[in-house]
Structure 1
Amino acid sequence: MVTYAGIRDARPEQWKDAADDFVALARYVNQAAIDVRGDTAAKVDAHWADSTGKAAAARLYALADKLDSAYDLLDAVKMVLEGMHSSIQTAQATLIQALSLANEYGIQLDDEGRPLIVQNPVQIVSEIAALHSQAIKQATDADNAARAELAKLRAAVGITNPDDALNLQEEASHTEMDAFKGAIPTGQDPATVAVWWGGLSPSERHDLMLAEPVALTNLDGIPDSVKTQMRGPDGKYDRVKMVDYALRNWNKSDPIDLGNNCTNFVSEALLHAGMKRKMGTWSGVSGADDWGKETGTGWDWLDKKLYYSHTWGGAENQQDFMLKHGGEEVPPGQARPGDIIYYEQQGPNSGIHQGETHHAAIVTAVMPDGEIKYTQHSDSHVDVSLEGRLPHETESEGQQNIRIVRPHPDWY
């Protein structure tokens, strides 16, 4: 049970230290999997041709799968611990702000940190009570979710199927995101929200802006300047609306089937966020340097040829178009919600040419430790970890070069 004293006296940095330990261990295990599969199993498989050699290679590949699974589970634990660290940290800040208000107005608190009944000032008493309730609820919800998730991961220690382990990693990612969302006082009056926001440190505000831009932007009481910063100060398109579209539509049917709809999904999100189409006077969207779509006939086979630009649904075409027209490529450490992730083939793959950009996704959150969460369509996933899933992409598709592009449309 989470109590006022428990939050007040908690040491959230211990959750962070534990998370860092799991990060180091996960990376060590991932490297071990790479070494076993690539340097040992592959060589045995290639140079020991008899049945004994094939059996030895199979055992080594199975060991690599176990290590891959262990990496996913360790990374999942890290995510849960990171979520607890951030939740307890912001809960403490909220309680401190309640205590500060009580001291400022001479309002007495009981042993559980709740304001005692007084006549005046009623509004301040209400704000203190709301902040107290918010801190207790968010810490309790995060604690319950973390306990359940860690129990599930503990029970899965012996898992050997990397796909199953990856699914658990995805669940843990959602648990981490829920901890951030729970820190936001949704439903409180604007005055209480403003007091809550003012009690957070600059780094805590920054972390929430990167992790939960949609929830913050929809909250009355957050300064307009903060919302503008999250939306994009140039006003070209609303980055928060782009993220919101992705989070609401990641597993819904597309208006059209372009084959692999990952880039189509990104284009739809950009259009809903307010990015204007680039069209020729006579060519519509079918010109060599256009971006957009037009109302079609309803027949996919015809519409995708005549009413969708070649930059709309092709990952490399879209990437090159955005970079040509004002976009910038940013390093992963500078990614923020509303950026686009492109996967460029780096290693050998029989179906993808080396150097070809073949996949696109949307950055929907960035965690305090720099971990990028993305959302994608066609093999649909929401708020999953780029770092956590990349080893599996490398295993299935070959080595990838991740390019993160921030559009700055220059045609309007």
Structure 2
Amino acid sequence: MVTFGQLASAKPGLWSSAAEDWTVLSRNLTTAADDLATEVQHMTAGTWGGAAAQAANRQIQVAYYTLLAGGVVTSAVAEIVRGLFHAVTLAQETLQEARELAGRNNILIGADGSVRLDSLPPLARGAQPSPPLGVLPDPKVQQVTQLIAEALREATQADRTAQAALERLAADSRNVDCKIAARAKDAKELKEYLGGFKDIDVNDASRLELQMILGSIPKGPPALVNQWWAGLSPEEQDRLKLAAPGVLGTLNGIPSGVQAELRGSDGIDRVKLVNYALGNWGNSGIDVKGQDNCTNFVSHALLAAGLHEKGHETEFWGRSDSDHKWYQGSTNNSYSWAGSRELNDFLTSNNSQPVPDPADAKPGDIIFWGRGDGSPSTIHHAAVVTAVVDGHVYYTQHSGSAQNADLDLRQPTIERTDGPSPPIIVRPHQD
């Protein structure tokens, strides 16, 4: 349990700097691996061959994958430390709100976080062992006490989550070893060696960063939620709007104006869109048998958010007119319903807005992936942007079952598998 004194004296800015250092280390390891691969290509392009060349090439392959594995683990560490920074920053702001409220009402807080009842006027001493019959605790004392308890809860959940994750990563890091990688019989097993780190460390770390931030949102009475929100700085409020729109948009106590902003004003409810994606990413009940259902899933999310269907299956040539038709039929859907390229065509032809820079993405945007130069004609996959944290875009998809996957971390893996696959962001709007 994090104590009042520990939270009050914590310096989360140091964790932010540490997260950046781990990120730099991750990039350096990945760059070293790529540089090694480039040099190998130069060597093998010449006349070097024979048994010695094969043996050397094998050792270089092992070193290459070991460096990549190190880059994966260190990037995962950066994610966890960054999440700890955000969560503790939020907890300290909650604690500061408690202190300011106490100061405005002449309430003293002890060094252990307890309210100094002897500092209160007689009628406010409701927390004394045996209050007079009919005397209730002073509301301001209750508020201060609740805010302190909430701040310590936020910090404790983040501390425990980060500790468990970092301990697991420390154990996994022992496998970042050329001797262990060398046990792989061939290139396929080396890729599997690397894939284990990516599938577990990167994906889990990405989700845990968000989990720590989401865990900093109180689930208590609306009055506490409202007080907590009011005590956050505008910067932290804006950060949470991007990181947790689905939670804030449905949480009693968040101001109605904030929730309206999160939903949007164009007839597409971004809160419903995000929450549908987060709640149904593993729902096979919506699948069309024998098809890749990535875009079918996105269309269901858009429909849940209120996007108007256009056309119907009885229209002549209705399915193929992707610029103007988008519907779920009883026997046939429009091509734009289940085809990623066709859905992009429909959205961009009907008032939706391309977002050229992925760093400008917002929750509720739709993310597509193209091939090669990323032209719309090469689009082959779709997902929903469900959170953004400090420019890191998190997306949720159905095919491949990824919830809140970090685009920055996953993109290199995607491109190693599929070749150049630039993300294409579209902000849907009602026609």
Shared fold by TM > 0.5? yes
Alignment counterpart, residue 337 of structure 2, candidates 312, 321, 326: 312
Alignment counterpart, residue 241 of structure 1, candidates 262, 267, 272: 272
Structure 1 unaligned blocks of 5 or more: 297-306
The Cα of 1:295 is off from its aligned counterpart by: 2.1
Q: Which amino acid aligns with 2:278?
A: L
Q: 1:58 to 1:357 in 2, by over 3 A?
A: farther
Task: Confirm or deny: 8 A CA contact 2:313 2:319 kept in the other structure.
Answer: no
Q: 1:311 to 1:58 in 2, by over 3 A?
A: farther
Q: Which amino acid aligns with 2:208?
A: T
Q: Which amino acid aligns with 2:330?
A: T
Structure 2 unaligned blocks of 5 or more: 118-124, 127-135, 182-192
Task: Confirm or deny: 8 A CA contact 1:42 1:57 kept in the other structure.
Answer: no
Task: Confirm or deny: 8 A CA contact 1:375 1:384 kept in the other structure.
Answer: yes
The Cα of 1:185 is off from its aligned counterpart by: 0.6
What is the alpha-carbon distance in structure 2 between the residues aligned to residue 110 and residue 353 of structure 1?
62
Task: Confirm or deny: 8 A CA contact 2:93 2:231 kept in the other structure.
Answer: yes
The Cα of 1:218 is off from its aligned counterpart by: 1.8
The Cα of 1:140 is off from its aligned counterpart by: 0.8
Q: 1:353 to 1:89 in 2, by over 3 A?
A: closer
Q: Which amino acid aligns with 1:231?
A: R
Alignment counterpart, residue 139 of structure 1, candidates 144, 151, 155: 155
Task: Confirm or deny: 8 A CA contact 1:44 1:53 kept in the other structure.
Answer: no
The Cα of 1:53 is off from its aligned counterpart by: 3.2
> In the alignment, which residue of structure 1 is the partner of 2:415?
394
Q: Name the SS for the 2:30 alignment partner.
A: helix
Q: Please identify, of 113-122 and 128-137, the stretch whose mean Cα deviation from structure 2 is larger.
A: 113-122
- TM-score (ref. length: structure 2): 0.86
Q: Name the SS for the 1:345 alignment partner.
A: coil
Task: Confirm or deny: 8 A CA contact 2:341 2:376 kept in the other structure.
Answer: no
> In the alignment, which residue of structure 1 is the partner of 2:388?
366
Q: What per-residue deviation string (whole Å, max 9, x for no partner) do you get for residues 56-78 of structure 1?
A: 33332322221221111111111
Alignment counterpart, residue 267 of structure 1, candidates 280, 296, 299: 299
> In the alignment, which residue of structure 1 is the partner of 2:142?
126
Q: What per-residue deviation string (whole Å, max 9, x for no partner) do you get for residues 185-204 of structure 1?
A: 11x22222111111100110
- TM-score (ref. length: structure 1): 0.89
Q: Name the SS for the 1:259 alignment partner.
A: coil
Alignment counterpart, residue 352 of structure 2, candidates 321, 327, 346: 327
Q: What per-residue deviation string (whole Å, max 9, x for no partner) do you get for residues 299-353 of structure 1?
A: xxxxxxxx21111111111112211211222112211111111111127xxxx99
The Cα of 1:110 is off from its aligned counterpart by: 2.8
> In the alignment, which residue of structure 1 is the partner of 2:70?
70
What is the alpha-carbon distance in structure 1 between the residues aligned to residue 344 and residue 40 of structure 2?
37
What is the alpha-carbon distance in structure 2 between the residues aligned to residue 104 and residue 372 of structure 1?
40
The Cα of 1:18 is off from its aligned counterpart by: 0.4
> In the alignment, which residue of structure 2 is the partner of 1:292?
327
The Cα of 1:287 is off from its aligned counterpart by: 4.7
Q: Please identify, of 65-74 and 25-34, the stretch whose mean Cα deviation from structure 2 is larger.
A: 25-34
Q: Name the SS for the 2:387 alignment partner.
A: strand
What is the alpha-carbon distance in structure 2 between the residues aligned to residue 212 and residue 353 of structure 1?
31
What is the alpha-carbon distance in structure 1 between the residues aligned to residue 45 and residue 343 of structure 2?
40
Structure 2 residue 220 is the aligned partner of structure 1 residue 194: no
The Cα of 1:32 is off from its aligned counterpart by: 2.1
Question: Quick check: which has more Rg, 1 or 2?
Answer: 2
How many residue pairs match? The answer is: 392
Q: 1:355 to 1:30 in 2, by over 3 A?
A: farther
CA RMSD of aligned residues (A): 2.2
What is the alpha-carbon distance in structure 2 between the residues aligned to residue 325 and residue 271 of structure 1?
15
Task: Confirm or deny: 8 A CA contact 1:44 1:57 kept in the other structure.
Answer: no
